Amino acid sequence: MAESGPVFELTQVSYRYPDGAMGIRDLDLVIHARERVALLGANGSGKSTLLKVLDGLLFPQAGTVRAFGETLQEPRLREDGFRQVFRRQVGFVFQQADAQLFSSTVWEEIAFGPVHLGLGDAEVRDRVADVLALFELKSIQDRPPFRLSGGEKKKVALAAVVATNPAVVLLDEPTAGLDPRTQRGLLDLLLRFGQGGKTLLTATHDLDTVSELADRVLVFGEDHRLVADGPPAAILADKDLLLRVNLIDPRFHTHGHDGAHRHYHIHN
């Protein structure tokens, strides 16, 4: 795999679901290492589809996807050697935590990645212990996933992904449905990973967290095309763009300082 060069390179990629629904349309995209990218767009605009295409879970009908210099194709991913290296490099935190936590306890869940990527027993145990400590999950390590709260589930999902030490982390709506404190904790963790040199791609429609999470914002329209690509400040200030892609409603407004945001107040 290439040492330098882009992490992901997409050329005219289009994906349509088996039931006919459109996923992404004619996408050209380059993502470099250590970039922190936010994918913005209304529901159904193609953010999740793009993440799955990048992770080699969906294969586009048109266009090519290159990851770390290699073309991502289904037969290639079925080769043991390629699969193990690729899956170790890229981690994916799914939107639906219940599908992602499929082991019988938290400990087993975090161990799943390392075990299936060929690490030895002792190394797996050490890794899991480190991850449990980092995420402060030690007290619930023997708990089955159905007895975790929403916030705990998201933490465990991220922990399980981080356990294989991927270079790239793809996140699908990581802060959706979380209470403010849990959301803050998760964001802090993500910031640390970003500072540690990981490439982060986060799909979200929560505008409040974008400027914290990302240095680059990709906006997807309801026509499943890439509509804008730029730094957060510029994108979030472009109210017409945000209205057009259904990310804000007409009552959204900003105040005279950096960063668009929404907050509670009463005008008399």
Partner 1 sequence: MSDPGRALPAWLAAPAPLPTFPPAGAPRRDVLADTVHAIAAAFERDLVCEAVARRPGLLQGVDPRVKLGTLFALIGIVGALHHVGPLLILNGWLLWLAHRSQLPLGAFAKRVWGAVLLFTGTVVFPTLFNIIRPGTPLLVLFHTSHPITWGPWTLPSDVAITHEGVAGASLLLLRVGASVSLTILLTLTTPWPRLLQACRTFRVPPVFCAVLEMTYRYLFLLLRTSSDLFLARRSRLVGQVGGRAQRRFVAGAMASLWGKTAALSEEVHSAMLARGYAGVPRAVGQCAMAPSDWVWVALVGLVALLVVGGDRLLG
Site for partner 1 in 30-59 (CB under 8 A): 52, 55, 57
Using the rule CB under 8 A, which residue among 11, 14, 103, 182 binds partner 1? 103
**Strand partners for 226:** 220
Tell me how far apart the alpha carbons of residues 7 and 191 are, in angstroms, rounded to a whole number.
20
Using the rule CB under 8 A, which residue among 8, 15, 68, 112 binds partner 1? 112
Which lies closer to partner 1 via its Cβ, residue 122 or residue 266?
A: 122
Tell me how far apart the alpha carbons of residues 87 and 78 are, in angstroms, rounded to a whole number.
11
* Min separation Cβ 145 and partner 1, Å: 6
* Min separation Cβ 233 and partner 1, Å: 30
Using the rule CB under 8 A, which residue among 43, 64, 73, 121 binds partner 1? 121
Pairing of strands 90-93, 216-220: unpaired
Note every long-range contact of 243-252, with CB atoms under 8 Å and residues 24 or more positions apart, other chains counting: 245/40, 245/41, 245/42, 245/45, 245/219, 245/220, 245/221, 246/42, 246/222, 247/40, 247/41, 247/42, 247/205, 247/207, 247/219, 248/207
- Residue of 57, 52, 59, 50 lying closest to 27 (CA atoms): 50
* Min separation Cβ 247 and partner 1, Å: 16
Site string for partner 1, 129-158 (x = CB under 8 A): -------------x-xxx------------
98 is a site residue for partner 1 (CB under 8 A): yes
* Min separation Cβ 236 and partner 1, Å: 24
Pairing of strands 199-204, 62-67: unpaired
Q: What tokens appear for 115 in the block?
A: 């075990």
117 is a site residue for partner 1 (CB under 8 A): yes
**Strand partners for 170:** 92, 201
126 is a site residue for partner 1 (CB under 8 A): no
161 is a site residue for partner 1 (CB under 8 A): yes
Which lies closer to partner 1 via its Cβ, residue 161 or residue 235?
A: 161
Which lies closer to partner 1 via its Cβ, residue 10 or residue 160?
A: 160
